[in-house]
Structure 1
Amino acid sequence: MEFSTVKADSKGNTKSKDAENEIRENTKLALIQYTIDRLSKIEGVMVYGNENAENRTGTVAFNLSGVLPERIGNWLDQEYNIAVQTDLQWRLQGNF
């Protein structure tokens, strides 16, 4: 038998833990898919890995032709507060 946790907010509305997890997972998948789709439309960008978010982890590996990964990583961090990994060890381990 499967049990699900139900909690009430300050207004007495209830939401099951299973529903929360499903919303969280769907949001994560939508964000990953959005990232893949948008990056794929940029000229000179190569997105590595499966194009379907459901068949990936939360990591989206990409390269911009002619631009050092460190420059892209620093720019994304400074301008948009997006954390990225740009070192060689990460790429060699195949974490994408």
Structure 2
Amino acid sequence: MPNPKVLAAIAIAFALSGCAPSTLEPIRGSITYNGQPRTKLTKSPIGSTFDHKFIGPGGDQYVETYRIAPDRSLELLSRYKVEIVDSR
């Protein structure tokens, strides 16, 4: 039977690996593609999120979610490609 301490260490390593921040790079069409915007979102609360819809490379439609950081910069949290279903 495996050592319980080894099993616990493996379980902790797997749990922590899921908590590691992922670095999502902006693509053409992202708000932060050419760096942070010049204007700051001064009226929006820190920590609030919003979605940005755009047509990306190749003509695909994307939705990105941003969060307003404490320094008023934007953090790109997620992106997904919108799948268009033809119902004809």
Normalising by structure 2, report the TM-score. Answer: 0.29
Greater C-alpha radius of gyration: 2
Q: Which has the higher helix share?
A: 1
Q: Which has the higher strand share?
A: 2
Q: Which has the higher contact order (CA 8 A, sep 6+)?
A: 2
